[in-house]
Structure 1
Amino acid sequence: MGLLYNIFVAFFSSIGSFLFGYDSGIIASVITMPRYAHHFTDNPGIKGAVVSTFNGGCFFGALGASWINDKLGRKRSIQIGTIWALWGCAMQTGAHNVATLIVGRVVAGVAIGILSMTVPLYNTEVAPPQIRGFLVGVTQQMLGIGFIVANWVGYGCQFIDGDASWRIPLGLQMVPAFLLLVGVQFLPNSPRWLLEVGRDEEAKQVVYKLHGSTPQAKEDADREYHEMYQTIKAEALVRSRSFRDLWATPAMLRRTLVACGVQVFGQFSGINVINYFGPQMYAGLGITGGRALLVQGIYGAIGPIANLFFIIFILDRVGRKKPLMFGAASFVVTFSILAATVASFPPPPPDAPPDFPVNVTGQRAGIAMIFLTSIFFSLSFGPVSWVLASEVFPTSTRSIGTSVATCSNWAFNVLISQVSPLGMTNTGWKFYLVFVALNAADFVLITLFFPETKGKSLEEMAEVFGDNVDAKKVLDEHNAHEKESQDEKIDDA
């Protein structure tokens, strides 16, 4: 089936990322709706809790996803995530008090934690190395599309009179969850996981299916399967499932720091401040009400367009490191200008009359910086963070390593989502200077310590990090030991 089948698998499995993007985007609209505020509360601390408790659930979902992935495989893990999503989204939709809403957010967060760890891991393990950046980058693409849909659903639903204005957008989360629950059953298992659990012939057939039916494709499939088989079987002989393996050697420690670092630095980009609290940021520029939701809807369409261009034409050509350096440097510039704009052109006071003069030039400059931040994120950390975090680990620790890296993402996501509304309310433009400093530090760390991994197969990553496992030697020693044991049993008999 070849390339088209690979693309289909990547896009369909990434419905889990669409759900991630929709949930992140829809809550930014819902918490600004008048009917939501009337039913619950407009308190900034409660708003932050509604967002951050979801992210806390994501942390624990990602943490437990490692065990589920190793025991049940990638497909079953995705299905378990969708079941949690249906449960949590149903609770949110029918919530009559803040407690029920928050519990529903936590449960849905567990679902997104499982999916946010498993989907890029699955796509990494089924993708050929030449286009792995593109296929894993689809994760970010679908996340962005989910965000677009959420913003426009939120914008349209604000005109509904009654609680349906916020219940409908929350309830729509169940549609992609159900579609993925049913449809993922028809996708192939990860061939690398199949080899781990001893289903070797099934793994070989999956590799053939992913490569296609031409003679050259079959030859490539045989070569990839042989390399995959030797490395995974060798790693299986020496593997353990301890977290300590992630820092057991200098090379493994570097892998772990790179994977966790790229996820944390993605949060330091400040993108989720815009995603979760964009309307509040626009209020700081004097844009409120329906206009803020409209701008947020337009903002949501910018990133996915840039991301699609990047993953198709750039990511697998220029690699991982240069885009990350570009992203960190660009965020220093955009947040510096945004801080200066808000400081120079403060918004009208809350009791200002409708005809109060507003600096339109300042508004446009601030919106431009917010939009540019989204574009630059989609050309750097957006897709690269998911690719790099899931491709640097060997098979023996890939599941647990990807889990820890994703947990790092969600831990800092919780922090930023909780403090951001308070920070913007209490410190105004000075809050943006935090991201100027963080991204300046990120640029230095990426330049000095991050490796380049483009074009490498997952089994070749050992060479990049300097912990090369001689798979043939390990297997030969194991087979020799097994033969000696069998000979001894024959002699004893």
Structure 2
Amino acid sequence: MANLFVILVSLVVALGGFVYGVDSGIIATTLGHDTFKYAMLGPTGVNAPLTGAIVSLYNVGQAIGTFAAGYLANKLSRRWTICISAIIAIIGGVLQTAAVNAGMMIAGRFFAGVGCGIMLTVVPIYIAEVSPADQRGMIVGLQGFMIAIGFFTANWIGYGGAYAKGDAQWRIPLAMQIPGPLALAVGCCFIPYSPRWLVQRERYQEAHNVLALIHGGCDDDIVEQDLAQIRAQIHADSSQVTSFKPAVTKLLSRQYLHRTLMACFILVMGQFSGSSVIQNYQSSFYAAVGFTGRTSLLISGIYGIMGVLGQVIYLFIAADRWPRTRTLWVGSLVLSVMIAICMALSAFYGSESTENISGARAAIAMIFLYSCAYAIFFNGTIWVVPSELFPFFLRSTGMGLAVFSKAVAAIVLSQITPTALENVGWRYYSLFIASNFVAAFIYFFLLPETGGKSLEEIAELFGDTLASDLPKNVKIEDPMAPKVKPDQESDAPGTFHMERTA
């Protein structure tokens, strides 16, 4: 079991997942309030393109936020970058709460998206870099757990809003987006820097102190060994570029393309699994089988409970016990089957005039089971694996590119979903059945297993050479270390003589 320090620090940072869950989830119930529809969508309360814009501009903000995430995480540290993202999310929440027209609402959604785009990039990186290798799946999975808690909270906040009067029905729920990032911004003042970022900045004693806390005060030799491996690997990579444009070029090079494509694919499939569409437009799905108004909002609240339940199962049963790759490909097949059943039920009973209430309830029950299964197999794992794939000097930019890809996928889906639901109805499910089925094969054949390995060792899976595996007596020079005469070389700070041990 991870020590209390690592758990507490990770929970503070994982508030970023909670912020994302609330910000993403609250729009689903907001769109279910008639008062919001008439205030923002016009006198008819129906405007599919504008509805898509309100949802998708949040994802546009996410995409843009990822461009700043990599630079800020390397320049200012992971810690303060997360703090900045929380402040941006607060601005977005304020604008949405005070919105007097659709333009102001869209601007608020955009700023909230920028903040969450940065969070989604940097939070899993930070947690991965402060987690012991054998517990990283569970600890990074805390972000997925907090996302599920955020969705759950948003659904019940939206349900509670139904008992308010007038515009308060949606303004009060939207205001509930503010406490989460406020707590995160304050919490960032009390957490340590990432030890790997400290090593990059040559603040070795601080890195040693943080690693000692991470290892729970164990033998100092273990801390020194861990520090030596991190320091050697980062110095070995020190000649590599870290600015945005060269880093993207490197990510798309033959050496790193496999990792880049897998990280992007995993997060894109978080959208094309169908989860975001069902979450954001669940009120439309419930209306299609005859449930509207408060009943629809109540069902949304119960739906949120299933995600939390599934995430608890993941943390205490699956994380770091099930192989990462198997979790993803088996989960993809499970979701494909569940959506196929839901599609069939919607085809037969997907009408407000249906007389078979049991069939309608069965369709909703399948959506609930889908939510639970998604949380078990994906909600944590899709953040764990991408955060592990890249070397330090590409980690923040690579994760940013993956989150950017996710945001682009979300933009596409949020724009086409309202129109698709109006025109093809239950047939729209077939897109997600096919995408999950294809994903299972890609995970099975192309994704190496990363569980239980240090972030430095994972590079070996993709053909990189570890600094600790270099031939005997090969020196790894710190380019920032002062130059000395040859007879003083053995005492030069920042110089390592790595020897292969049996």
Letter in 2 for 1:346: G
Q: Which of 451, 454, 458 is the matching residue for 1:457?
A: 454
SS for the counterpart of 2:281 is helix
Match of 2:467 in 1: 470
Residues 1:315 and 2:319 aligned together:
yes
Rounded to whole Å, the distance in 2 between the matches of 1:483 and 1:423 is: 60
Q: Distance in 1 between matches of 2:226 and 2:238?
A: 18
Two-structure CA RMSD over aligned residues (Å): 2.2
- The 5 Å alignment of 1:14-413 reads 14-41=14-41, 42=45, 43-215=47-219, 218-241=220-243, 242=246, 243-250=248-255, 252-348=256-352, 358-413=355-410
Do the aligned partners of 2:159 and 2:298 also contact (CA within 8 Å) in 1?
yes
Superposition deviation, residue 98 in structure 1: 0.5
Q: 1: CA distance between counterparts of 2:359 and 2:280?
A: 22
Displacement of 1:56 in angstroms is: 0.7
Q: Which has the higher helix share?
A: 1
Q: Which runs of 5+ in 2 are unaligned?
A: 489-502
Q: Distance in 2 between matches of 1:452 and 1:272?
A: 26
Aligned amino acid, residue 187 of structure 1: I
The answer to whether the 8 Å contact 1:51/1:417 transfers is yes
Superposition deviation, residue 14 in structure 1: 0.9
- SS in structure 1 opposite 2:350? coil
Matching residue of 2:498: none
Q: Tell me the CA shift for residue 419 of structure 1.
A: 1.1
With over 3 angstroms needed to count, the CA separation of the structure-2 counterparts of 1:362 and 1:482, relative to structure 1, is closer
Determine the C-alpha separation between the residues in 2 that align with 1:484 and 1:263.
Answer: 43
CA distance in 2, matches of 1:380, 1:164: 37
Counterpart of 1:273 in 2: which secondary structure? helix
SS in structure 2 of the partner of residue 236 of structure 1:
coil
**1:337-380 deviations in whole A, cap 9, x for unaligned?**
1111111123135xxxxxxx531121122112211211111111
Distance 1:154-1:477 versus aligned 2 partners, 3 A rule:
same
Shift of 1:487: 3.9
Q: Residues 307 and 378 of structure 1 are in contact (CA less than 8 Å); yes or no, is this contact kept in structure 2?
A: yes
Change in 2 beyond 3 A, CA 1:429/1:486: same
| Residue 482 to residue 109, structure 1, CA distance change in 2 (3 Å) | closer
The amino acid across from 1:428 in the alignment is G
Contact 1:192 1:203 (C-alpha < 8 Å) held by counterparts: yes
Following the alignment from structure 1 to structure 2, what is the Cα–Cα distance between the partners of residues 453 and 344?
A: 43
Could you tell me whether the CA contact under 8 Å between 1:194 and 1:200 is conserved in 2?
Answer: yes
Specify the code of the residue in structure 1 equivalent to 2:38.
Answer: H
Q: Deviations over 1:418-474 (max 9, x none)?
A: 211211111011111111111111111111111100000001012111122435749
Deviations 1:127-154 (A, max 9, x none): 0001000010000100110111111110
Q: What is the aligned-residue identity percentage?
A: 36
Could you report, residue by residue, the CA deviation over 1:184-205 in whole angstroms, capped at 9, with x for unpaired residues? Answer: 1100110001111111111111
State the one-letter code of the partner of 1:418: Q
* TM-score calculated relative to the size of structure 2: 0.92
Q: Which moved more, 1:98-107 or 1:229-238?
A: 229-238
Once residues 481 and 326 of structure 1 are traced to their aligned partners in structure 2, the CA distance between those partners, rounded to angstroms, is 46
Counterpart AA for 2:272: F
Report the Cα offset of residue 486 of structure 1. 4.2
Contact 2:232/2:476 (CA < 8 Å) preserved in 1? no
Asked whether the 8 Å contact 1:2–1:209 carries over to 2, the reply is no
> In 2 relative to 1, CA 254–107 (structure 1 residues): closer, same or farther, beyond 3 Å?
same
**SS of the residue 2:189 aligns to:** helix
Letter in 2 for 1:264: V
The within-5 A match list for 1:433-452 is 433-452=430-449
Aligned to 1:10: 10
Q: Which amino acid aligns with 1:450?
A: L
The amino acid across from 1:19 in the alignment is V
Partner Cα distance (2:258, 2:241) in 1? 18
| CA distance in structure 2 between the aligned counterparts of 1:311 and 1:262, rounded to whole angstroms | 19
Work out whether residues 230 and 472 of structure 1, in 8 Å CA contact, stay in contact via their aligned partners in 2: no
The change in CA–CA distance for 1:79 and 1:324 in structure 2 (over 3 A counts) is: same
**Structure 1 range deviating more: 197-206 or 123-132:** 197-206
